[in-house]
Chain A
Amino acid sequence: MKMMRMINLVRGSVMKIHGLSRASRCLAAEGGVRGLSSSSGPRVCIVGGGPAGFYTAQQLLKNVINTFTQTAQHERCSFHGNVNVGKDVTIDELRQAYHAVVLSYGAEGNRSMGISGEDLPGVFSAKDFVGWYNGLPSNKELRPDLSCETAVILGQGNVALDVARILLAPVEMLKETDITQNALEALAGSKVRRVLIVGRRGPLQIACTIKELREMVNLPNTRADMLPADFEGIAEALKDLPRPRKRLTELMMKAAKEGGDDKAEKCWGFRFFRSPVEVIAGADGKRATGIRLALNKLEGSGESARAEVTGQLEDVDCGLIISSIGYKSIPIDPAVPFDPRRAIVPNEMGRVQDTAGLYCSGWVKRGPTGVIATTMNDSFDTARVLIQDMEAGKLDLSVNKPGAQAITALLQTRGVRTVLFSHWEKINAEEEKRGKFLGKPREKLLDVDEMLKIAWS
Chain B
Amino acid sequence: MAASAAVRSAVSLTQRFVRVSPDCSICPLYRLNACTGATDGFTAPSRRLRTSIGVWQSGDSSSPEEEERVVNVVYIDRCGQRIPVQARAGENALHLAHKHGVDLEGACEASLACSTCHVYVSSEHYEKLPEPEEREDDMLDMAPMLQENSRLGCQIVLTPELDGMELTLPKVTRNFYVDGHVPKPH
Residues on A facing B (Cβ under 8 Å):
2, 4, 25-26, 51, 64, 66, 158, 207, 209-211, 214, 240-244, 247-248, 349, 366-367, 369-374, 376-377, 380-381, 384
Contacts and interface: CB of A to CB of B under 8 A. Distances in A.
A242 B79 contact: no
B138 A373 contact: no
B174 A349 contact: yes
B119 interface: no
A380 B171 CA distance: 11
Contacts of B79: 25-26
Contacts of B183: 374, 377
B142 A243 contact: no
B141 A247 contact: yes
B138 A210 contact: yes
A66 B98 contact: yes
Nearest to A214: B138
B67 to A, nearest CB: 28
Nearest to A380: B173
A373 B144 contact: yes
B106 interface: yes
Interface of B: 19-21, 42, 78-79, 81, 98, 101-103, 105-108, 111, 113-116, 118, 134-135, 137-139, 141-144, 146, 172-175, 183, 185-186
B20 A242 contact: yes
B185 A369 contact: yes
Nearest to A4: B113
Contact of B20 (A64, A243, A377, A380): A243
Given A244-B142, A372-B108, 12 more contacts: A210-B138, A214-B135, A214-B138, A241-B21, A242-B21, A243-B20, A370-B185, A371-B114, A371-B115, A377-B144, A381-B175, A384-B173
B3 to A, nearest CB: 25
B114 A26 contact: no
Nearest to A388: B175
Contacts of A242: 20-21
A158 B115 CA distance: 16
A373 B113 contact: no
A241 B20 CA distance: 9
A372 B114 contact: yes
Contacts of A384: 173, 175
B175 to A, nearest CB: 7
Contact of A372 (B107, B141, B174, B175): B107
Given A25-B81, A366-B185, A373-B118, A381 B173 contact: yes
A29 to B, nearest CB: 11
Label chain A's interface by main secondary structure: helix
A129 B19 CA distance: 37
Contacts of B107: 51, 372-373, 376
B115 A66 contact: no
Contact of A211 (B102, B138, B146): B138
14 contacts: A158-B186, A243-B19, A243-B20, A243-B146, A349-B175, A367-B185, A371-B114, A371-B115, A371-B185, A373-B107, A373-B115, A376-B116, A377-B173, A381-B173
Nearest to A303: B184
Contacts of A373: 107, 114-116, 118, 142-144
Given A26-B78, A371-B186, A244 B141 contact: yes
Contact of B174 (A241, A371, A381): A381
Nearest to B116: A373
Contact of B142 (A66, A241, A369, A371): A371
B120 to A, nearest CB: 15
Contacts of B134: 214
A441 to B, nearest CB: 13
A455 to B, nearest CB: 26
B186 A211 contact: no
Name, among A2, A243, A367, A369, the residue most crowded by chain B CB atoms within 10 Å (CB to CB).
Answer: A243
Contacts of B142: 209, 211, 244, 371, 373
A134 to B, nearest CB: 16
B95 to A, nearest CB: 10
A158 B185 CA distance: 13
A374 B143 CA distance: 8
A209 B185 contact: no
A209 B81 contact: no
A26 B137 CA distance: 30
A349 B173 CA distance: 10
B94 to A, nearest CB: 9
Contacts of A158: 186
